[in-house]
Amino acid sequence: MSLPTFEQIRQAPKVLLHDHLDGGLRTETIIELARETGYDKLPSTDPAELDAWFRASADSGSLERYLETFAHTVGVMQTREALVRVAAECAEDLANDGVVYAEVRYAPEQHTERGLSLDEIVQAVNEGFRLGSEGRGIRVGALLTAMRHQARSMEIAELAVRYRDVGVVGFDIAGAEAGYPPTRHIDAFEYLQRENAHFTIHAGEGFGLPSIWQAIQWCGADRLGHGVRIIDDIAVSGEDAKLGRLAAYVRDKRIPLEMCPTSNIQTGAAESIADHPIGLLRRLQFRVTVNTDNRLMSGTTVTKEFAQLVDAFGYDWDDLQWFTVNAMKSAFIPFDDRLALINGVIKPGFAQLKWRA
């Protein structure tokens, strides 16, 4: 059986758990929204040039500099119409990439510059996801992110609970990691735990093991955003790997790792796809999932991320299905819904592709 091709991977039913709404805009849309809303700070109004600018600026090797590019996407996402449009296009683009289930995150507190309330922001994005998903064979849920350098996490956690049955499936914290440990937001995480709500934490990307340890053992994260630096707790010699206590805990407890290979290279968390810790972590059977992080800044899609992994590691259909089922098992929607997607959509979809290959 030959390795999956790009087009075959695109057709496979895929699952995406880590994708930022403000990191996935179409360049043409940014330019149009800037014109419509009077945002005059774009580095270029030519789509190709702007696209190249985002990629080059995000390729800095530093998470902090990578994050600076979001000023322009967030800058044009300040009205209800803009949010509905961006969310609808996000759902459409993911559906066209063959994604059948996605959790897309954004930070409501970043969209209040022109007077929208947090509730209005969530309602607008929900409406966009609904419009963009309709009839396209995709289900999209929102994760509400609080910015770790700000102090609004409790408010955002309450917002996530308020909308838990209407479009929102969980909570997250994002932004610069060094200097802003997860425990800074412990009250929000404790509140979410008391509410039986789900959350993931960006950890082990721009900072190492202490961040992962806090996210899991202090804050009770259900999943880890990136978590790549867990390899600092694994000693490899030849084929042998010795896990430290934290790495063993993450693997034993089947804590999902939302890995984003291209993004990690851009921010300096990994050297190249071939050197990306995902190779080792998949071999050691951590609960690894494959994600895009920011499709605009990384010029990527789920299909591209998978295709690069196939090139680098020779992954076959079974590997791609394993990543996909891992992701579906780790989603924040109810167990019955996850099972229905695994048995009704993912397994039959992969079976058909394997059979044709």
Which letter, b or e, does each residue of 217-226 get, where b requires 16 or more Cβ atoms within 10 Å of its Cβ? Answer: eebebbbbbb
State the amino acid at position 50 in one-letter form: L
Contacts of ligand 2ND in 268-297 (CB under 6 A): 293-294
In the complex with Zn ion, the residue whose CB is nearer, 176 or 243, is 176
* Partner that binds at residue 191, options ligand 2ND, Zn ion, none, CB closer than 5 to 8 Å by kind: none
Among positions 58, 107, 121, 201, the unique one binding ligand 2ND when judged by CB under 6 A = 107
Q: How many CB atoms lie within 10 A of CB 339?
A: 12
d(CA 303, CA 291): 10
What is the bridge-based pairing of β-strands 257-259 and 240-243? unpaired
Q: How far is the CB of 246 from ligand 2ND (least distance, A)?
A: 20
d(CA 153, CA 81): 25
For position 293 contacting Zn ion by CB under 5 A, the verdict is yes
Give CA angle at 200 (327, 248), nearest 5°: 75
d(CA 306, CA 60): 23
For position 30 contacting ligand 2ND by CB under 6 A, the verdict is no
Here's the x/- map for ligand 2ND, 298-337, by CB under 6 A: it reads as ----------------------------------------
d(CA 12, CA 3): 13
Please state the residue numbers annotated as binding site for substrate: 20, 22, 175
Please tell me what DSSP assigns to residue 136: T
Residue nearest to ligand 2ND (CB): 174
Stretch that binds ligand 2ND, among 1-9, 19-27, 28-36, 42-50 (CB under 6 A): 19-27
Q: Where do contacts with ligand 2ND occur on this chain (CB under 6 A)? A: 20, 22-23, 63, 67, 70, 74, 105-107, 110, 145, 174-175, 202, 205, 263, 293-294
